[in-house]
Every structure is written in C-alpha cells, then in structure tokens.
Amino acid sequence: MIKRLLKICAVFLTFFTGLATLYLGNLFFMKPVSIDHYLGKEMVVSLVDSPELLTYLGVFDRFSNITKHNSKLTIPNPKDLENDISQTEDRLAILKSYKTGSLSDEQKITKKIAIFDTENNLKELKEFPYHNYPLNQVRGAHQNVISFMSDQHPVRNLYEARGYVERTDLVKEVFKGQLDWLERQAAQEIYAPDFVYAHLIEQLNEFISYSFEEHPLYTEFIKKIDLLKISGNDYAELDTNLKNSIENSVTPGFVLLRDFMVATKHKANPNHGIWSQPNGDEYYKLMIRSYTTTDYSPEKIHNIGLSEVARISTRMKEILNSLGYDPKKSAGILMNELNEDPSFLYADTPDRKDIVVNDYMNMVNEATEGIKGYFHTMPRASVVVKAVPEYSEKTAPGGYYQAPALDGSRPGAFYVNLYDIKQTPKYSMKTLAYHEATPGHHHQIAHSMENEKLTLYRNFGYRTSAFSEGWALYSEQLALEAGLAPDPYDELGILQSEIFRAVRLVVDTGIHYKKWTREQAIDYMKSKTGMSDTECRVEIERYIVWPGQALSYKVGMIKILELRKKAMDALGDKFDIKDFHSAVLDHGIPPLFIVEQKVDEMIERALNT
C-alpha cells in the first residue's frame, strides 16, 4: 500500500513538474499565452535589472542574501539605448499580437494601456533620446543617489549596514556612466539652460566640500547604526569603511560631474524652453501626450489655463472682498500681501520645523477621519510627515510624497519644505496636506498598492501623473466639499493651490511653446497666485527642466470633475460618490481615457439596477 502511494505521489510530482516546466518555458522563451503573464514577466525582469526598485518595494529585502540587491546600484552603460530600443520594439510587436477578441474586458484595458505607453516610450527612445535633463537642480542624478541611500536603503541590521557601504563604493562608477551619457548628449548639441548650470555647480561644490559630520550619507547612516545592537569593533569598521567610501568614491564622483559642468558652462543654452532644442516642438507634443494622456495641442492647453485662472481669480476676489480686503487690488496682489502677513506665519524659532511637522500631522489625521464617508474603504498603510532634508530644501518643491513599502516596513511619507518661512503660511497648509496625504496621493497610491485584484502590471507597470496628480488636485476640492476647511482663509489656500496649477498650464506652454523667458513666467505666476518669490522661482525652474509634467495636474483634475458631473447628471438620485470614487481609483493608475471608460461603465450599471 505504501509503495503504491509513493508511486502515485511520484507520478503526480512528475506531472506537475512537467507542467511547471512547460509554463516557465512558455513564459520566458515564447510568447506567453496570457497578456497578464507576459507583462508580469516583463515587470519581474525589470525588477531583477533594478536593485534600486527592489529596495524601494521592500518585499524582497528578506531575500537580499540571495539577490544581493541591497549592495548594488544601477550603473549606466553606453549600450543601454540600443538595447532599450530593441526591447521596446519587441514588446510592442508582442502586445499587438494578442488578439483583442480573445481577451477579457480587463485584459483589453491592459492592452490599451500597455500599447499607449510603449508607443510613447519607443518614440522618445528613437527620436529624442537626449532631450531630457537627468542632471538638474530639482531631482538630479547627483541628488537621487543621496536621497535613495538616506531615505530608502534599510539599515536594520549589520548585513544591511554593510550593504549601504558597498553601495556607496559604487557611486563613482554610477557617475562615470552618467558622465558618458552627458557627453553623448553634448555631441547632439543639447545643453541645459544657463541657470541650471549655476545651481548644479553650487550644489556639487557643496557636496564636495562637506566634512564627514556634514555629509548626509554619513550623518544619516550614523543615526541608523546608533540604533543597532552591534559590537564596538563592527561599529568602528563601518564608520571607517564609509568614510573611505565617501573619500574615494562619492566625492570623486561628484568631482567628475562638477568638472563636466564647469567645462561646458560656456555652451549652456541661453534660452529656457524646450522649443530651442533640436526638434523641440515635436518633443514637447510627445511630452504632453505622455504626461496628460491626451492629444491636446499646446495652444488648447494654454487657453484652458487662461480661462481657469480668470474663473478662480473671480472666486478668490469674492472671498477677499467678504473679508474686508481692498476691492481695488487684484487677487494675486492681495494673496501676496496675505503671504507676508506675520499673523499667518510661524515664528522663526529653533524648533519651528518640529512644530510645523506636528501641525501637519494633526491635519492629516483629521482629514483621514473626516473623509471616510466618501469611500467604500480606506487604505491600511499609515502616512507620516517629514521635513525635506536640508541638503535639497533650497531647490525642492513645497511638498512631495513617497509611497509606503509593499511589506509594510515603511509607511508613506509626506515631505514638507520648511526652508523659507514664507513657504508655510498657515492658510495654505491644509490644502498641501490634502494633496500629498489624505485624500490625495497617499490615499490613492496606498489604495492601489493594497488592491489584490490588480495584476502586477496594472499596479506597478504603468504610472501617469495625469491620473495621480489629477486625483491629488481633485482631492483638495473634495476636502473642501466635505467640510474639512470651513474657514474662508483655508478655502483661499485651496483656491490658491488650484490657481497655481491653472497657472502651470499657462506658463509651461508659455515657456516651451510660446517662447517665454524664465523671468516672464515667474512674473506671471507671482502676479496671479501671490506666491513668494522663492516659491515662484523654484517652480518655474522645475517646469523648465521637466517639460509637460506640470500640465498633468490641472488637466487630470478637470477630467475627473467633468466625469463626476457627467455621472451626476446621468444618474440623479442614483449617484453615489463612493461608487464614483471606486470607479476612478480601483484600476491602478491608468490614462485618463481609461478612467472615462470605467466611469461610463459605472453609469451604465447604475442605470440598469
């Protein structure tokens, strides 16, 4: 009897091993039967090729003794472009070969998204491989290494601490690869605008001149290993090795980049718009398509922006007049005066940053409770508020969000820039909290990451700021509608945020399509928003090095509001805001044309029940 059972088990084991072999063979050596499996396989391959992404996701850290990803960095290679073009062409051909009639409804959507994304990527790779500015003053390659190591590389034990040092040993090689890319870009006669050079040389010189006690790679590491229970010898070894790594790899890497910038500064682009680069107008149209997921022309977007700026300014004036402010002054001038009003600013005390971070955290917690009635579910992952690190606060935006780790080991993080005290008027704080945390980025991204119905590709394989930033801007208005900002000054803060995004439509197209200068754009933004000089300069300089991205916020918000009105008009009393939000949020981070399709399906279902 036992022999018979063992024989049956052996047969089953052989059978299932054969099936597994056939499946893996189909997955990796042939066209997979399922488009989901194909895109999932592509995601897995890209993960294996990106140690940074493996670290960011967090769930693979338990296998790092096998993968070794926490001791590696991606080093750019001259053959990357050629390989990327070939792989992208193959990917597009495979995607198009899946017969639409044989796909499920969700797979049809997946195919639409993947082809849209792949076609855009292929066009950029083949026609505009050197039009972006990877070395820039906002989130350049030089800063990315620092922020990645400081904020994302885990140091929870001795093994991970040693991996940190091994990664810093590779920084010079990373920057050598980046330098090779910059030299190939220069061969195409593409150079960043002159102000970018000024910022970068200053930043790089600062990194080069840091003492160990000032260096963020060292100070953040020491804070982390101070929390570990390791021997004195291990601590001393780590300390010595990291200092050697900074001295022999990190700093020389910064010197390589700095020397290139100094040597080519005389060739800096005297113009600011991407129109001034070779075939720049066509590149800008591609960026608009990629970032907004629409085929809007630059002229159409510019005119939408002008219209929205006028509408929002009128509402701001109504509130300001009701509060007793001078009716003869424009909304922009009055908001600028409000921005200077000491009663709305924090006292410049040594503990100011801690106080502001704590106040933001209270706002986030209040919003999390107050918005629950608008959603069927709330994300499980928590979110914390942090100050932007000092090494990047001079050029970083006013706030940004970092997603939680998949395994829950790291919460979502809402970073606030507290460099300039005038960047934090109290009336503008709630809207930033709604945008970056709840119900904005944190709610949407954590909800998506926790959605077990999404395939690997639909969760992580495609992202568009038209959706994510459009949702975050919509969330500011949603919070106002939910009664979370009853104070008229808080509404002014929300409107100032919205007009800020409407102004982006005007200035981004102004710079990159209508040939505005940096100074023209700064003046326009300041006159319409009342934002501080520092905020306006940082924002405009960001749009210059990131063409088209700033358009996605307002274009996305307008589409979501348009679809909500469409649903409300069609459904009347049957309209349920929770169902609408599920239709928008339950499908990953899709292009706007997919969001519209899903809302239309929701309307049809509701009408038929």
Question: Can you give the pLDDT at residue 342?
Answer: 92
Please provide the DSSP assignment of 465-531 as one string: HHHHHHHHHHHHHHHHHTTS--SHHHHHHHHHHHHHHHHHHHHHHHHHTS---HHHHHHHHHHHH--
Closest among 433, 469, 467, 444 to 550, alpha carbons compared: 469
Question: Can you give the pLDDT at residue 42?
Answer: 94
End-of-domain residue from the set 217, 242, 269? 269
Over residues 193-228, the pLDDT tens digits come to 999 999 999 999 999 999 999 999 999 999 999 999
Question: Can you give the pLDDT at residue 480?
Answer: 96
Question: Can you give the pLDDT at residue 548?
Answer: 97
Domain shared by 49 and 26, yes or no: no
Q: Is there a contact between 131 and 284 (Cβ–Cβ < 8 Å)?
A: no
Vertex 229 angle, CA 228 and 231, to 5°: 115
User: pTM for the complete prediction?
Assistant: 0.85
DSSP 8-class letter at 372: G
Q: Which residues pair with 400 in a beta bridge?
A: 415
Question: Can you give the pLDDT at residue 29?
Answer: 46
Q: Is there a contact between 135 and 142 (Cβ–Cβ < 8 Å)?
A: yes
Spans in the chain with pLDDT lower than 70: 1-31, 395
End-of-domain residue from the set 99, 127, 155? 127
Over residues 23-40, the pLDDT tens digits come to 444 444 446 889 999 999
Domain shared by 501 and 398, yes or no: yes
**Any domain includes 462:** yes
Domain shared by 403 and 538, yes or no: yes
Question: Can you give the pLDDT at residue 532?
Answer: 78
**Any domain includes 309:** yes
Question: Can you give the pLDDT at residue 31?
Answer: 63
Domain shared by 257 and 149, yes or no: yes
Stated length of the chain = 609
Q: Which residues pair with 414 in a beta bridge?
A: 385, 401
Domain tally for the chain? 4
Domain shared by 539 and 453, yes or no: yes
Domain shared by 74 and 164, yes or no: no
Question: Can you give the pLDDT at residue 17?
Answer: 39
Cα–Cα distance measured from residue 195 to residue 133, given in angstroms and rounded to the nearest whole number = 13
**Any domain includes 276:** no
Question: Can you give the pLDDT at residue 249?
Answer: 98
Question: Can you give the pLDDT at residue 270?
Answer: 96
Q: Please state, as a whole number, how many other Cβ atoms lie within 10 Å of the Cβ of residue 263.
A: 10
In whole angstroms, how far apart are CA 530 and each of 219, 303, 312, 398, 474?
A: 37, 21, 13, 15, 21
Domain shared by 465 and 510, yes or no: yes
Over residues 289-325, the pLDDT tens digits come to 999 999 999 999 999 999 999 999 999 999 999 999 9
Domain range for residue 145? Answer: 141-269
Q: Is there a contact between 507 and 525 (Cβ–Cβ < 8 Å)?
A: yes
Question: Can you give the pLDDT at residue 419?
Answer: 87
Domain shared by 108 and 197, yes or no: no
End-of-domain residue from the set 558, 574, 592? 558
**Any domain includes 392:** yes
